[in-house]
A and B are shown apart, each in its own frame.
Chain A
Amino acid sequence: MLADGAARQHLLDEHPQAAQVSVGLPLRANLSVLENICIVPQYRQNLGYEDAADQAWGLLGLLGRTDCAFKRDPDLDHEERFIAKLLRAVVLTPPIILIDRPGMLLPDTHYPPFLERTLDSLEGRFAQCWIVDYQWNEPLYAPR
């Protein structure tokens, strides 16, 4: 979805049920990537730490990112931080994931192909993924 600033905010406000991946929703700084992902099933599904950590580890494995499992936020690069936020959103298999302004989350990456690869690896973990980006970034995305 391509929108200007006001339309983007309107869209976010209209879909509070969507699991968001956004620069405005940081990871907990004193928790590792694994803990940031597994607190969601621990808390929402009342899972024990071991089960929740297995689930989080499995997701990191799907993306080949288990190397960053024990790093904390300040030690992560932009891609690792994005992956952690994405998996935190995906872990409960929500109906909609909303990736808000990927350019701000992945400033050093040519992000449309990166997003496509990453989301393909997580197929079946969510029903829909919406990417909200500014209209002026339209040329970055391949026509569908």
Chain B
Amino acid sequence: MPFLASLLTRRGAATLNWLRGWNGLTRFGAGAVVEALTPSFYNSATRSVVQKQIYFTAWQILPGYGLFAALLSFVIIQIVVSKARDFGLSDYALEMTMRVLVLELLPLITALFVALRSGAAINTEVALMNINNEIKALREAGVDPMRFEFVPRVIGGMISVVSLISFSSIVALVLAYLVVYGWQLSGFADFTRVIAKVFVPLAMFGLILKALAFGLAVTVIPISAGLNAPQKLFFAPISVLQGMVRLFFVLMIIEVASLALQYI
């Protein structure tokens, strides 16, 4: 019995801790959205942090990410087009390519890429800021860290994710045209017809909503994980680990929910 009591106590404490983490995340996310939508929130300091975040998250990686997106898109388009031809389904190849690549694969890969690169960095930085008392020091100097440090990163992260998704989608569409029709303009009318069929207003709305949700997740979750880290240096890697695992699951949940809403 003492063993059972001890086990239940430990599991209970772990569950409460887990729930506290999600509670903190939800509160922080809601607060960040409200702040971001408040016009008086913005001043030169916050704008400067937003610009820096966009530079590091989107602009700095644009050439490398563009190349990767082009390569991945090219390979997938080739596979889809050649297999569709084998099965006599060439008419559907372009539509399938657009649906798979632009609506599903590229947004998810972009979010995972930004999560791995910027999300992990943000999580580490916020955890270290918290551990080193830098957040308290800002507060003592009369600077609201939520307004100066955290929300600008959320806004910058969201803009970056949406921009990278848009950029990679345009690259994929151009490549799809080139693979299917080659260097000629005769297929343009057909191409635009397929685009109009795939990107109906509801699908576009879903895509924009998904991109925004991805952008929100890749910044809010790492910041919240960093803020919840106990103020001891050895908790920094644990905070990053927990933040990244939580982020992975949230990104997958967003993707699965989006697929279910569209296709089921």
Q: Please tell me if B148 contacts chain A, counting CB pairs below 8 Å.
A: yes
Per-residue interface assignment for chain A, residues 23 to 59, with 1 indicating a CB less than 8 Å from any chain B CB and 0 otherwise? 0111111100000000110111011110010000000
Per-residue interface assignment for chain A, residues 104 to 119, with 1 indicating a CB less than 8 Å from any chain B CB and 0 otherwise? 0000000000000000
What is the CB-to-nearest-CB distance from A46 to chain B, in angstroms, rounded to a whole number?
A: 5
Q: Given known contacts A29-B132, A40-B143, is B44 in contact with A47 (CB within 8 Å)? A: yes
Query: Given the complex of chains A and B, what is the CA–CA distance between A20 and B128 in angstroms?
Result: 22
With most chain A CB atoms within 10 A of its CB, the pick from B45, B48, B128 is: B45
Asked if B125 contacts A30 (CB within 8 A), the reply is yes
Chain B residues within an 8 Å CB radius of A44 = 142-143
Q: Given known contacts A26-B133, A28-B138, A49-B44, is B143 in contact with A43 (CB within 8 Å)? A: yes
Q: Please tell me if A81 contacts chain B, counting CB pairs below 8 Å.
A: no
Q: Given known contacts A20-B140, A43-B148, is B134 in contact with A28 (CB within 8 Å)? A: yes
Q: Which of B109-156 contact A (CB under 8 A)?
A: 125, 128-129, 132-134, 136-138, 140-144, 147-148
Residues of A in contact (CB 8 Å), total 22
What is the CB-to-nearest-CB distance from B219 to chain A, in angstroms, rounded to a whole number?
A: 16
Chain A residues within an 8 Å CB radius of B129 = 28-29
Asked if B137 contacts A26 (CB within 8 A), the reply is yes
Asked if A40 contacts B141 (CB within 8 A), the reply is yes
Q: Please tell me if B43 contacts chain A, counting CB pairs below 8 Å.
A: yes
Asked if B141 contacts A89 (CB within 8 A), the reply is yes
What is the CB-to-nearest-CB distance from A131 to chain B, in angstroms, rounded to a whole number?
A: 18
Asked if B140 contacts A25 (CB within 8 A), the reply is yes
Asked if B134 contacts A39 (CB within 8 A), the reply is no
Asked if B136 contacts A42 (CB within 8 A), the reply is no
20 sampled A-B residue pairs with Cβ under 8 A = A24-B133, A24-B136, A25-B136, A25-B140, A28-B134, A29-B128, A29-B129, A39-B148, A40-B141, A40-B143, A42-B45, A43-B45, A43-B142, A43-B147, A43-B148, A44-B143, A49-B44, A49-B45, A88-B141, A92-B142
Residues of B in contact with A (beta carbons under 8 Å apart): 43-45, 48, 125, 128-129, 132-134, 136-138, 140-144, 147-148
Residues of A in contact with B (beta carbons under 8 Å apart): 19-20, 24-30, 39-40, 42-44, 46-49, 52, 88-89, 92
